[in-house]
Amino acid sequence: DDHILLFINDRPEELYCYVIHVGRRWEGLLDTQENVYRISEEIYAMVAGHTHDTQPLRPGDLADDYHDFDAARECSGHKVYAVSYTPSTEQDAMKYLILASLLAFAYGQISGDWRQILAGLRDRVDEGNSKNDDVIDTYHNWRVEEHTTDTDHMLLFINDLPDSRYCYVVKVGRSWEHLLTDQNNVYRITEEIYAIITDPNHRERELRPEDLAYDYSDFDAARECRGHDTYSIRYTPDWE
């Protein structure tokens, strides 16, 4: 099954239909309207600025190749192109903001009060880098982090949505930790853990975030899970 976005212009002099394949790694972003707005703006900037690679299509290709007859009908009578697109990260956006601010500062456009703002922005980027260094996968609004201490190896399955702030802790056994060196295995493990936590009958043990510091000596994990309902679940790949 395919998941696509259509970016359609119906103006008589600009009858265009751009087809964007939604990757499995970022389709969860479409669950929130704020992300949809941002994605729309990025795609518009790309197609309007002609900074994209396109592949010509026929409207019939949407029916033949994608089995999407509704999309074929919507794009009928338009020039149709497939466009490659992946959303930018908030971290990159923050870096660009800091770069622009620093350039303005260099040319004397920023007053003294902005020095503190720039320092705060740098701290946020540093914090984001530290946070994202542990991320090994994202899936349906969840991020998967790998944490290793001298005594423990664990995965954190974290959801930061306001109404779904959960943190699931999965201890990585020595018998299967080698699987995490292959990204395809990581994808498979992510999907299997997701299936477990979305099963209403799954077993879990409630934790306090500080337990991750006391019991696992992982202060980074304790910080990541702070403010989340935190649980430990058992998982072992059956294909290790």
Measuring CA to CA, which residue among 95, 156, 85, 169 is closest to residue 127?
Answer: 95
For 99, the token pair is 């770069």
For 125, the token pair is 């980027």
pLDDT at 203: 92
pLDDT tens-digit series, residues 30-87 = 888 878 878 888 888 888 776 677 889 888 888 888 778 888 888 888 999 998 888 8
Q: Which of 76-90, 193-207, 215-229 has the highest mean pLDDT?
A: 193-207
- On the question of pLDDT at 112 being above 50, the answer is no
pLDDT at 109: 47
What is the pTM (predicted TM-score) of this model? 0.48
- On the question of pLDDT at 7 being above 80, the answer is yes
Q: Which residue has the higher pLDDT, 124 or 169?
A: 169
pLDDT at 116: 52
Report helix, strand or coil for 89.
Answer: coil
- On the question of pLDDT at 117 being above 60, the answer is no
Pairing of strands 4-11, 54-57: unpaired
Distance CA 113, CA 152 (A): 44
Q: Which residue has the higher pLDDT, 115 or 181?
A: 181
Burial of 149 (0-12, 13-18, 19+ CB in 10 A): middle
Element spanning 10, H or E? strand 4-11
Per cent of the chain over pLDDT 70 is 79
pLDDT tens-digit series, residues 155-168 = 999 998 888 899 99
